[in-house]
Chains A and B, each alone.
Chain A
């Protein structure tokens, strides 16, 4: 049977509506993002630096630059540092955030005040964090003074100038800065867990720790994954604190991938080498992100089910 003219015109109207909603996004991607990605591809295969005249006449070098970058030990170390930094700070944020959320999810006097103080670090500008850290952490600065006074032992690590601990310093800053992120997500997750299974377990006389391991933790899994995955991705991209505080130094101690790419491009002006590194990092990140997205999709589905149930119960 032929659809009626009315149904046809309605379908056409909807199609028109859909495209007009999508158009801005497509234009934005085509005008801003596409040319940039194409340019990056061009520079990856053409040797150009700002000293070599017009970039449109750069020499074609094929895959030479990829070989050069992959053989560059500094690049390899930057990859290692970035992964270590992201892993360490993700775990740190998670442990702090989880502890705080677990201590906070039941109402108690002063809860709102603690919540407010705990989210403050997340609301400071990263560059401000870097500069404030410098004021706090120089060798005869207030942090060392305070720790020495409290413990009574002279405590004088060179947070910013000792190459052995500089990366850890930045990692601690990242944890200070973003533990609130893990905290608020896990707190929201704990608060949304349905009460019935826990109450049922309590009535059956299950000990507190078993309720935690066998009831609460599995229900919290989607939120835990979310907190870990999103934090890891953000930590891989961390640039402002590392750069504003140490510019990759002392030596190359805090030279993570973003910092090394930045140095190559904007201090050594090796645009092509920077582009190749960017390309490799982009491919690497796309692989990680695709994996992360698979995880997120699965966890989002269980979250949606949970909120859907909660909404139905509230409506009933």
Chain B
């Protein structure tokens, strides 16, 4: 499915806009597959095709995803409109130059926009801000321990082998596996010493999971040699202690934050 995005929003550099008006780039969204395990990262490919005879420039927003907008209709019929990534914070600019006849492609993690926490079929309308939407059907299978283990194992392997931006994005994807199955994998990655400043994403995921096992990993991170990890673990544990109804867990966390042995 392709849509013609609004030229006004696609144009990145004003000087290039008149050139792009004649034939606006074609944007398309395509899910990596039809169905996903519950909590499996959902990757969607965004493509921008330049059918013009000259280079075009498009602005996909902060980190090349700030201008991507999704509307989601959940399996129960509830509608979630105009989902955008939060604006605060620093990020790279989203300008992309596409050569004539070329197609720019990138993967985005749909979970960043919406948590697919229930099994069923979701209808997703994806667009570049101001453009016409493409429709995606995302089927989320019921929770499957074994499938999640496979997903986790595969992602961990890729994360530990990846570097730079790729590792960062894979770790981000992993952080959306909000299932206790992910905890030992996170623990393994944190102890592997192979992450280059992407630990913070995994610590956030432990807070989302929130189980005693996840808390234990966060507690062990309080002794990490990485300052960010220590501070984030402390922050996450503080919130977790305030939110949990599990008294034993709360006591355990508070004890750890006090530095009790």
The yes or no verdict on A and B being binding partners is no
Q: Report A's interface with B, CB cutoff 8 A.
A: none
Q: Report B's interface with A, CB cutoff 8 A.
A: none
